[in-house]
């Protein structure tokens, strides 16, 4: 009888344990699923390894947990990057019929003195001009200049660029604001730094040897008797000082030519006549270097230019082509033109080696040159002349071949 009662107690105990185990297993299963559904990855299921039937579920949880950690890390990095650039950025997210502010970077908030608002409609109070232009364009992609005034200051000019993207059925609208004044100041500062580096380099290249030679001359002339050998040293030293002084004078004259470029005296000129005059001037050099010049311009057009200045531009560019073709088997220069949207483009290409990658960003810098006999102002002066005409000078490299392009606007 006692054995039977004992046996029943053991059975009851086992039933309770099984029920407890099953209950915990279901609770654990539910907890894991709920955590995944709620993106809650704070739990640690590694201590529940005894539930071997849930191994795949736990592995899924850990995989999603790792992905969530990676996404959070990326989000922190991206936000850090956006918060540390000098461009105003605001990202909107569509919620029903309204837009929420998904992100406003620190520059936007501090520059315009706006708190980190959560609703797009609140921006109307702080930046009405920006709010109105976005609403007017119905949140479409645009790139336009925009005047914005804030904190009772005079209006400043910005470039506003917007884009719209749909990601996982979520509608996002991105607004970028760049201060034109800041861009100009940065470019001006960089231009001054580049110019000062060039001037310092040129001055030191001349002053250092002149100072060294002058010191040597001082020692020679202090001697009671100057030997024939010392006298020859004096002559050579004076000759070197004269050469370096001439170089400095040429450098200063080149700088003055750049700094004191007169305003162009524009006249209506035929495009073909301008090209022909430049080619006639260079004809002797082309013949001497055995260079074939192909003028493919098949139309004529009146352009408003200062003939003397623009002739110099053409000479500078063609001279560059001649140097680029030195040592080449095939020596060819091709001149072409096209008209696009009231703009005349004149292209000058050569079959030379092209511009080396490491100097491509330097070719328009004043006094930068790769030639010993060059002054380094040809391209800089050409660029300044064309810009004073209201156009621009650019270049492109295709298959290692260089093409300079002059753009002139119709008046």
pLDDT tens digits for 298-356? 888 888 888 888 888 888 888 888 888 887 888 889 999 998 878 889 999 988 777 77
Cβ neighbours of residue 365 closer than 8 Å, sequence gap 6 or more: 194, 195, 198, 376, 380
C-alpha span between 297 and 337 (Å, rounded): 6
User: How would you classify residue 327: left for phi > 0, otherwise alpha for psi between -120 and 50, otherwise beta?
Assistant: left
pLDDT band at 111 (very low <50, low <70, confident <90, very high): confident
C-alpha span between 407 and 348 (Å, rounded): 12
Mean pLDDT of the chain: 78
C-alpha span between 25 and 53 (Å, rounded): 10
Cβ neighbours of residue 222 closer than 8 Å, sequence gap 6 or more: none
DSSP state of 51: -
C-alpha span between 253 and 187 (Å, rounded): 25
C-alpha span between 222 and 203 (Å, rounded): 28
- Determine what percent of the chain is predicted with pLDDT higher than 90: 7
C-alpha span between 2 and 19 (Å, rounded): 26
Q: Would the pTM of this model clear 0.85, i.e. be above it?
A: no
**pLDDT tens digit sequence for 42-83:** 666 666 565 555 666 667 767 777 777 777 777 788 788 888
Residue, of 67 and 14, whose pLDDT is higher: 67
**pLDDT tens digit sequence for 15-46:** 766 666 666 655 666 666 777 666 666 666 66
Token code pair at residue 21:
């185990």
**pLDDT tens digit sequence for 87-106:** 889 999 998 888 999 989 98
What separation in angstroms does the CA of 221 have from each of 225, 230, 237? 9, 9, 12
Question: In this model, does residue 246 exceed pLDDT 70?
Answer: yes
pLDDT band at 172 (very low <50, low <70, confident <90, very high): very high
CB 92 within 8 A of CB 99: yes
pLDDT band at 359 (very low <50, low <70, confident <90, very high): low
Question: In this model, does residue 385 exceed pLDDT 80?
Answer: yes
Written as one string, the DSSP assignment of 358-405 is GGTTTTTSTT--SSTT--S-HHHHHHHHHHHTT-EEEEEEETTEEEEE
Please choose, from the candidates 72, 251, 178, 295, the residue with its C-alpha nearest in 3D space to the C-alpha of residue 243. 251
Q: Do the strands 392-398 and 332-340 form a parallel or antiparallel pair, or are they unpaired?
A: unpaired
Q: Which residue has 């004191």 as its token pair?
A: 260
């Amino acid at each position: 009888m006692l054995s039977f009662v004992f046996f029943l107690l053991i059975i009851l105990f086992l039933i309770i344990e099984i029920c407890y185990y099953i209950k915990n297993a279901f609770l654990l299963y539910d907890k894991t699923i709920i955590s995944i559904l709620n993106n809650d990855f704070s739990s640690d299921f590694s201590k529940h390894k005894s539930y071997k039937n849930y191994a795949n579920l736990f592995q899924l949880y850990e995989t999603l947990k790792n992905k969530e950690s990676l996404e959070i890390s990326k989000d922190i990095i991206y936000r850090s990057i956006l918060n540390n650039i000098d461009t105003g950025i605001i990202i909107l997210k569509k919620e029903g019929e309204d837009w929420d502010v998904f992100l406003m970077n620190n520059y936007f908030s501090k520059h315009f003195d706006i708190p980190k608002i959560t609703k797009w409609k609140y921006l109307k109070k702080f930046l009405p001009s920006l709010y109105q232009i976005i609403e007017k364009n119905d949140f479409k992609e645009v790139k336009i200049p925009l005047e914005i005034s804030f904190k009772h200051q005079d209006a400043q000019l910005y470039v506003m660029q917007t884009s719209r993207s749909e990601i996982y059925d979520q509608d996002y609208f991105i607004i970028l604001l760049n201060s034109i004044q800041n861009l100009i100041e940065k470019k001006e500062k960089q231009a001054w730094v580049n110019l000062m580096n060039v001037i310092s380099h040129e001055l030191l290249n001349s002053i250092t040897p002149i100072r060294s030679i002058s010191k040597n001359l001082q020692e020679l002339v202090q001697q009671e008797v100057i030997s024939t050998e010392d006298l020859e040293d004096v002559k050579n030293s004076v000759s070197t000082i004269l050469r370096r002084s001439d170089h400095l004078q040429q450098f200063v004259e080149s700088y003055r030519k750049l700094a004191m470029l007169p305003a162009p005296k524009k006249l209506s000129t035929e495009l073909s006549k301008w090209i022909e005059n430049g080619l006639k001037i260079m004809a002797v050099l082309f013949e001497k270097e055995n260079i074939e010049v192909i003028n493919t311009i098949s139309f004529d057009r009146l352009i408003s230019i200062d003939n003397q200045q623009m002739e110099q531009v053409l000479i500078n560019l063609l001279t560059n082509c001649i140097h680029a073709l030195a040592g080449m088997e095939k020596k060819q220069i091709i001149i072409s033109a096209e008209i696009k949207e009231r703009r005349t483009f004149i292209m000058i290409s050569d079959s030379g080696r092209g511009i080396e990658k490491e100097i491509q960003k330097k070719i328009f810098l004043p006094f930068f040159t790769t030639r010993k006999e060059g002054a380094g102002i040809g391209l800089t002066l050409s660029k300044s002349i064309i810009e004073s005409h209201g156009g621009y000078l650019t270049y492109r490299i295709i298959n290692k071949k260089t093409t300079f392009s002059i753009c002139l606007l119709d008046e």
